[in-house]
Chains A and B, each alone.
Chain A
Amino acid sequence: QTVVTQEPSLSVSPGGTVTLTCGLSSGSVSTSNYPSWYQQTPGQAPRTLIYSSNTRSSGVPDRFSGSFLGNKAALTITGAQADDESDYYCVLYLTSGMIFGGGTKLTVL
């Protein structure tokens, strides 16, 4: 069974730039997987950031952008702020359904 992979944890300095990735245990991620990204701050419901690889959801600042990096989907946060400290999940469209990655815990320090 194909697994969606993410870095377990990353850190970024305030004002810095960080890239989170979303891959497959076998194969490459492409536009046909329609990657989407979600942010979840502690104790809160998830919030949709990006869908269809690079389309920002309503109200999402342009500091968040979606792209591809090698054979993975990527979420880049520029000008990181303290309240960007959250868990970030990607979802890929696969034949088995819409599958979540395990999430990346982002620390801003």
Chain B
Amino acid sequence: EVQLVESGGGLVQPGGSLRLSCVASRFTFSSYAMSWVRQAPGKGLECVSMISGTGRSTHYADSVKGRFTISRDNSKNTLYLQMDTLRAEDTARYYCVKQLTMIVVAPGDAFDIWGQGTMVSVSP
């Protein structure tokens, strides 16, 4: 069974940084695009970033552009999200998600397999 395990969440002050990791198993990691989807407490879902299977293409939501950086290490089956200049509104559970396709924002793509998420809290 495909497994995604996130880590790296925690409490950080506004303006601080945090790096999330997601270790994938039981599928060919490099063959699929991956995403980070977040959910603020009591709110809906928002895709903040996507990366292609090769890692060469990325996509960011306007809300995080210039502050967050997505990357992956296919040799370690690991996805990352570097979050800088954090704001209170970045407080959310962050889910690592396997996509259906290899390409970023591709026609026919969908969010496929979800991890359990890691909680990020930004507060003084």
Closest A residue to B96 by CB, please name it.
A45
Q: Which of B45, B95, B109, B117 contacts A93 (CB 8 A)?
A: B109
Check B112–A45 contact: CB distance below 8 A.
no
Q: How far is the CB of A102 from chain B (nearest CB, A)?
A: 5
**Given A97-B59, A97-B105: A103 touches B110 (CB 8 Å cut-off):** no
Q: How far is the CB of B6 from chain A (nearest CB, A)?
A: 10
Check B107–A97 contact: CB distance below 8 A.
no
Residues on the A chain within 8 Å of B28, using CB? none
Check A91–B107 contact: CB distance below 8 A.
no
Residues on the B chain within 8 Å of A91, using CB? 110-111
Interface of A is mostly: strand
Q: Which of B47, B95, B113, B114 contacts A97 (CB 8 A)?
A: B47
Q: How far is the CB of A70 from chain B (nearest CB, A)?
A: 23
Interface string of B50-85 (1 = CB under 8 A from A): 100000000101000000000000000000000000
Q: How far is the CB of B65 from chain A (nearest CB, A)?
A: 12
Q: How far is the CB of B109 from chain A (nearest CB, A)?
A: 7
**Given A34-B107, A97-B105: A57 touches B112 (CB 8 Å cut-off):** yes
Check B115–A45 contact: CB distance below 8 A.
yes
Q: Which of A38, A98, A100, A103 contacts B109 (CB 8 A)?
A: A98
Q: Which of B45, B59, B107 contacts A103 (CB 8 A)?
A: B45
A19 within 8 A of B: no
Residues on the B chain within 8 Å of A32, using CB? 107
B116 within 8 A of A: yes
- Chain B interface residues toward A at CB < 8 A: 37, 44-47, 50, 59, 61, 95, 100, 105, 107-117
A-B contacts, 24 of them at CB < 8 A, read A34-B108, A34-B109, A36-B111, A45-B114, A45-B116, A45-B117, A46-B114, A48-B113, A48-B114, A51-B100, A51-B110, A51-B112, A52-B108, A89-B44, A91-B111, A93-B108, A93-B109, A98-B50, A99-B47, A100-B44, A100-B45, A100-B46, A100-B47, A101-B44
